[in-house]
Every structure is written in C-alpha cells, then in structure tokens.
Chain A
Amino acid sequence: MTEATVETSPTSSGVIAKPELPSNGKADVLILMRNLWKTYDMGAEKVHALHGVSFEVTRGDYLAITGPSGSGKSTLMNLIGCLDTPSQGEYWLNGKNVSEMDDDELARIRNQEVGFVFQTFNLLARATALHNVELPLIYGGIPGAKRHEMAKQALAEVDLADRMMHRPNELSGGQRQRVAIARALVNHPSILLADEPTGALDTSTSYDIMNLFEKLHEAGNTIILVTHEHDIAARAHRIISIRDGLIEKDERIR
C-alpha cells in the first residue's frame, strides 16, 4: 500500500458523527463497525491491513468471515475479539466503544464480552480441563466455589462431565476443542468468536463441532466464525468475504 491511500482515509474518529443506531423496533445491534482502518508501520512503509471496513452484527446472528490468507481476515478477527485496537474508525461492542480502550480495559472486555475458540485450541497444557474452563472466571474475579460450579456445568453442556480432571494431552482433538468451547462460554460472553475452529480436526469431528455451534446458536448465542473453508462458512447464516482489507461481499444465506 502507498502513502496516497492514507490521504484518502477518513479523519480521526472524533470527527465522525456518532453512529445512528437502529430504533427499538428493529433488531438488536451487538457489533457496530464504522470505517475501520488498521495500519501497520513497517519502518518506511505503511501496510494497511484493513481499509475502511464497516458492518453491523445483530444479537443472535451466526456470521462467517471468509477470505484468503493475507486478506485482513485475521486482523479483523483480532479487532472483533478486542485483542487489538483499530488505527482509525469506531468499534462498538455491546454498547461499549472498544476502539479507544487501553490494554487493561480491553482485557476486561475480552473477559466479559468475548469467548475465543482457536484453531489450535490454546488450552493450558499442564492444567486439567476443569482448570482451563475456570480460567476466564478467575480473571473475572468469581469466587472459588461458584467458579467450580460454573465450570463443571459448562463442561457438562459440551458432554465432557466425565473428562473434567483430564489434561489436554489425555483428550482427543474434538474433546480439546469442546473444552475450549466450554471455556469460551463459561463467562456468558456477548459473542463467541471462533478462528478456524475445525482447522486442526478431521472431517467427522469437524461436523460434530459444527453441530455444537449450531446448537449454541439456537440457544441464542451470537457466533462469529472466521474460516477460509467454504463448506464450514456455509453452515453460518451470513457470510462476509474479505479481500485486500475490504469487504468484498456481505450476504445472508439463511
């Protein structure tokens, strides 16, 4: 990308008018992104991973974000998951302006509003399934007894009640991903954000996990799926395709 692109970028977020939110009669907006830019300063050159992405997600939606590698898909996921902040633009998550938060505020939002599911599960290798699921509750400041109860319940919901004291290396890939899903959901987040959740799983296990997502969606959870696999994306209700840092296509399929 060139310097010229920067000049065409919008002015600072403060100048932009506060987003018009849907009135009460319409669907409940959970995510609102306005003209998001993400620019990486690579020494002399500036690389724009996202240039001006805007979209909304209503509560209870089941969204897939697809795109080839290098499309800005991962950058967008990091922004949605509050692991990073945009260079420009506004991001409102569940009524909170996330785009201007500092590290610790973001950590709090991740703890309360976002449940992550990763391709490589990202469980603590030496901790039990139960302890892994408890992790978000620990940082949420929930007392021990209540925490155990919530974590056990979450594990039971993903059919792992009998594997609570197992460590990740004693579990199959599908079971590990279910532990990760239990961890993502235990704190009752606003969104469930899954990054290639089936990328490390075989086909039949992938279907099991996708069925679980479906069940979770039916239960009212908002799910955002980041994937480059079309058949996985096709399970969602809406697909956003990213290319070269822009939304190429935004279609509702269900």
Chain B
Amino acid sequence: MSPRSDAKPEAAGDAFGKRISRPSRIRSFPVFRIAALWEAFLVAAASLRQNKLRTVLTLVGIIVGVTAVIAVVTIIKGLDQTVASTFSSQGSTVFTISKRPQVITSREDFIKFNKRKDVVREDAEAIFRSCTACWRTGIAANSFEIAKHGDQKFEGVRLRAVTPAAMFDIDGVTIDIGRIWTESESAAAREVCVVGPDVVTNLFPDVPLDRAIGQDIWTGGHKFTIIGILQPLGKIFGASRDNIIYIPYANFEKNFGAHNSLVVFIQTETAPQLEQAEDQARAVLRNRRGRTFRDEDDGFALETQDVFLNLYTSATANIYVVTIGVSAISLVVGGIVVMNIMLVSVTERTKEIGIRKAVGARRKDILTQFLIEAVTVTAIGGALGVLTGFAVAWLIALLIGFPLLFSAWSAVLGVSTSSIVGVISGLWPAWRAAKLDPIEALRSE
C-alpha cells in the first residue's frame, strides 16, 4: 500500500481562505528555458544594483584589462594599415624583375645573386615584345646623389632614371607643377629632370614652388633643368618619399654609364592578369638566359610589392604577439580581481544564499545567478573597456600621428573575451555558493 499521492486537496490551496489554483510552471524546452535564463539575469541584475560598490569595483578591474588590450590591438592595426597602404601605392598590377631580390637574408644568397647576369634594357624589350598579358613596361635605375643649386646643397637624394614616361604612372607619382619630359627629349637624352617637392624646398628655400621650374640643378656631376615638380607623397615613419629626382633613362646611360643592373617594371591592365603576365615574363627571361625547366633558379628575381609587406609582417609579428600578450596579462589580472570580489561576495552573501535555498533555489539556480552576475559585470566592463581602449588608442595616435581603424571585430572580441574571463573567474565562486548547505548558510550572519 502506498501513501496517498493525489493532487493537492482544497485546504492546501487556501492560503487565505480563497482557493487559488497553482499556475503552470516554466519547464519545457527551449523557449521557456530562455525565459528562465532571463529570470536568472533579472535576479543577477537586481543583485548587482543592490550592491553598487562591489559592482563598480569589479567593473574597474575588467575595464582596465580590456582597455589595455583594445588600445594595443587598435594601435597595431593602425600601424599595419599605414604600412600596407603605403607599400601598395603601386597597386597589385605591378611586378618587377631585377638581378637581386629586394630582401636578401644570407651571405650565400648574396654571393649567388651577384653571380647572376645583369638585367639589361634588352630584357625589358624582349618582355615587351613577347608578353601579351603585359600592359606597360618600363625600366628604372637608382643611385643616391647630392643635389646642388648655387650654394644650396641637399644630400641623400634618390636619383631615379626611368623610361618610358609611363614609369611615372607605374611608380604612382603625378605631376603637380610643370610637365613630364617629351618622348623626343627622352630619346635625345636631354638634361631635364622632374623633382619631388623636398628637392625644391631644400634647394630653393623661401621661393614659391613654381619659380623652380626652368632652374638648373647639379647632381652626380651633371647639370639638369627642372621641368616638373611632383605632388608630395608624404612621409612614412618619419622618412620622406619626396626627396627624389627623376631623369630620362637614356641620359643616365649617357652620363653615368650602364654599369648597374637595372630593374624592369611591368604593369598589367587588370589585377587578375598579373599571374599570367608573371609567367610570360618569367618564360621570356629564362629563355634569354638559356634556362631549361630543370633549372630551379630563374637567374633573376621576379617580385611584387608584397615582399615589403611580407618582410614587415614577419619582422613585426613576434613583437605584436609579445605586446598583445603583455597587455593581456592585465586582462588576466582583471579576471583575478573579478574572482576575488566574487569569492568575497559569496562569503558576504552566505545568508542570502541560505534564504534563496530555503525558499526553493536549487544548486543550478544559485550557480546560474552567480555566473550570470559575473558575466554581466564583465561584459559591461568589456564594453566600457572597448570604449576607453579606443579613446586611449586615439590619443596615442594623435600624439604620434598615424590614422586609426576602429574595427567592430575588436569590440566584439573585447566584450566576448571579458565575458569568457567572467565565466572562468566566476565559476569557482559560483560553485562554492551553489553547494552551500542551506542550514549552515541560514545560520551565518
């Protein structure tokens, strides 16, 4: 015989002499589970409101951590973006062919590359004839010289000899004042030059830019007449890109000799053609150097501007990881602050936990409440930390002088990371709260 287990008889429902039927309870999945979580959130929110000092202290702990990480990440992204936009000014349609790659990492390589045949004008012409995917081809040779006008001297000028005039386009520079040399001037190897604005301001101080047109300057022991001035490109990391003198390549050959290997610039009309153009140019040059398919080495270096970016990326990657790692330590410290405050809070609120358990809170309810409290605080702290992090990054960027990118993903990352920190650091205190004995908890003061 089993004890009676029928529905509640009438008297039990009569709290105050009126019969009130018991309302249905939230139990099923999943819509009501969300409702239950929302209830837990409301309980947690009420508790956070009711303990303002504790909430603020926890917030500060997490804000400091997130601010550090967000500021560092934002600054790094800003720097990266600056570098990337600078190096990609030639666009992704340009590649170069030269004797040596722009980056050499070992002495053996350097010796090997030096043994290669020079890249010469005829190579460029052969490519121009045979490469159907190539749109524009040019050649360039560089040297560093001193420029002079009267008693004014300007050191460390980049002398760049190019042909044809399309090389200005390929280099991504445009004329500001004056003109580019004509084809006949180029062919006749005339002593004309197009200069960057830095050259003018250094050689012709306190004179309007346009007054420099037609003036003669001396460089590399030869006299050149300024016919055009370029638009300024600005600085990258403090180094000017406007201290340059362009002269016709034919003149360079005549006055300086063609003893240096030159660089062939090839541009395709559209970016998707780049790979095909590279293959064709490579085939032409391998052929001219008598390379068969068995030879691994081309005998020349075919590169896009990506090499600079790749070099920059690989050189800075470790620095970034370390910097972000160090700043992430402050987030860990923030997490420890949260855990500490939560532990104190559990001890402080033992009585409250006892009361909640006495009126029917299960372990899960207490665990959820404390976890949600931790996550709510850390998520809000994370959001505020993202804002202050952006503000700090903006201030630093203002002082150093580079543009910033405030990305949504770093905001999402900041909030989600701090929420995860909240879960991790809230778990142990919440579990301690959840397994408290209700009798013991009620007895505490």
Interface residues of A (CB under 8 A from B): 18-21, 28-29, 32, 59-60, 78, 81, 83-84, 92, 94-97, 103-104, 107-108, 110-112, 116, 118, 122-124, 126-127, 131, 135-136, 138-144, 146, 150, 154, 157, 183, 185-190, 216, 218-222
The distance from the CB of B176 to the nearest CB of chain A, in whole angstroms, is: 69
Report how far A97 CA is from B5 CA in the complex, Å: 10
As a 0/1 sequence over residues 1 to 14 of chain B, the CB contacts with chain A under 8 angstroms (1 = contact) are 11111101111111
- Nearest CB of chain A from residue B439's CB, rounded to whole Å: 5
Expressed in whole angstroms, the Cα–Cα distance for A157 and B9 within the complex equals: 22
A216 touches B351 (CB 8 A): no
Q: What is the CB-to-nearest-CB distance from B337 to chain A, in angstroms, rounded to a whole number? A: 22
Q: Is B307 an interface residue (CB 8 A)?
A: no
Q: Which residues of chain B have C-beta atoms less than 8 A from A110's C-beta? A: 357-360
B351 interface neighbour in A28, A32, A112, A122, Cβ under 8 Å: A122
Assuming A18-B3, A21-B3, A21-B4, is B359 touching A136 (CB within 8 A)?
Answer: yes
Q: How far is the CB of A55 from chain B (nearest CB, A)?
A: 15
Q: How far is the CA of A25 from the CA of B356 in the complex (A)?
A: 39
Could you tell me the distance between the alpha carbons of A12 and B1 in the complex, rounded to whole angstroms? 19
**Are A221 and B25 within 8 A (Cβ)?**
no
- Give 1 or 0 for each of B31-42: 1 = CB within 8 Å of chain A CB: 010011001000
Say which residue of B1, B14, B357, B360 sits within 8 Å of A21 (CB atoms): B1
Tell me, in angstroms, the Cα distance from A139 to B354 when the chains sit together. Answer: 14
B150 within 8 A of A: no
Contact of A95 among B5, B10, B438 (CB under 8 A): B5
Whether A139 touches B360, Cβ cut-off 8 Å, given contacts A94-B12, A185-B16, A190-B8, is: yes
> Of the 9-residue stretches B126-134, B283-291, B362-370, B392-400, which lies at the interface with chain A?
B362-370
Inter-subunit contact A221/B3 (CB<8 Å): no
Q: Which of A21, A84, A139, A143 contacts B361 (CB 8 A)?
A: A139
* A-B CB proximity, top 8 nearest: A111-B360, A126-B50, A219-B17, A141-B26, A95-B5, A139-B360, A220-B14, A141-B25
CB-CB under 8 A from A96, the residues of chain B are 5
Alpha-carbon gap, A218 to B23, bound state (A): 24
Tell me the complex Cα distance, A21–B356, Å. 34
B355 located at the interface, meaning its Cβ lies under 8 Å from any Cβ of chain A in the complex: yes
Q: Given A18-B1, A138-B39, A142-B26, answer yes or no on A28-B9 (Cβ-Cβ < 8 Å).
A: yes
A131-B46 contact, Cβ under 8 Å, with A103-B363, A138-B39: yes
- Give the interface of B toward A (CB within 8 A): 1-6, 8-17, 20, 22-23, 25-27, 32, 35-36, 39, 43, 46-47, 50-51, 351-352, 354-365, 438-439, 442
Task: Contact check, B9 vs A59: say whether CB atoms are below 8 A apart.
Answer: yes
Contacts of B23 in A (CB 8 A): 142-143, 146, 150
| Cβ B15 vs Cβ A139 within 8 A | no
Q: With the chains together, A183 CA to B16 CA distance in Å? A: 13
Residue in A18, A118, A123, A219 whose CB lies within 8 Å of B442: A118
Query: Which of B3, B352, B364, B438 counts the most A-chain CB atoms under 10 A from its CB?
Result: B3
Chain A residues, Cβ within 8 Å of B11: 28, 59-60, 220-222
Nearest opposing residue in chain B for A131, CB measure: B46
CA distance A96 to B442 in the complex (A): 25
Contact between B46 and A127, CB atoms less than 8 A apart = yes
Q: Chain B residues near A185 (CB, 8 Å)?
A: 15-16
Known contacts A111-B359, A122-B351, A126-B50: A188-B15 contact under CB 8 Å: yes
Residues of B within 8 A of A189 (CB): 12
Say whether A135 contacts B359, CB under 8 Å.
Answer: yes
Whether the Cβ atoms of B439 and A83 lie closer than 8 Å is: yes
Specify the chain B residue showing the minimal Cβ separation from A97.
Answer: B3
**Provided the pairs A104-B362, A107-B360 are in contact, do residues A123 and B355 lie with their beta carbons within 8 angstroms?**
yes
Residues of A within 8 A of B8 (CB): 94, 190
Asked if B362 contacts A108 (CB within 8 A), the reply is yes
Q: Which of B10, B15, B27 contacts A141 (CB 8 A)?
A: B27
With CB as the reference atom, state the residue of chain B lying closest to A122: B355
Residue of A nearest to B22 (CB): A188
Establish whether residues A143 and B35, one from each chain, have CB atoms under 8 Å apart when the complex forms.
yes
Chain B residues with CB under 8 A of A97: 3
CB distance from A14 to the nearest CB of B (A): 14
Could you list some 7 contacts between A and B, CB below 8 A?
A: A59-B12, A97-B3, A126-B51, A144-B39, A185-B16, A188-B20, A219-B15
Which residues in B have their C-beta under 8 angstroms from that of A157?
Answer: 15-16
Question: Roughly how many angstroms separate A144 CA and B39 CA in the complex, as a whole number?
Answer: 8
A95-B4, A122-B442, A220-B17 known, 13 other contacts, Cβ within 8 Å: A21-B3, A28-B11, A29-B4, A107-B357, A107-B363, A108-B362, A110-B357, A122-B354, A131-B46, A140-B360, A150-B20, A189-B12, A220-B12
Q: Are A219 and B16 in contact (CB under 8 A)?
A: yes
Distance, CA A94 to CA B6, complexed state (A): 9
CB <8 Å contact, B364 and A122: no
User: Which residues in B have their C-beta under 8 angstroms from that of A124?
Assistant: 352, 355
B contact residues around A188 at 8 Å (CB): 12-15, 20, 22
Contact in complex: A219, B14 (CB < 8 Å): yes
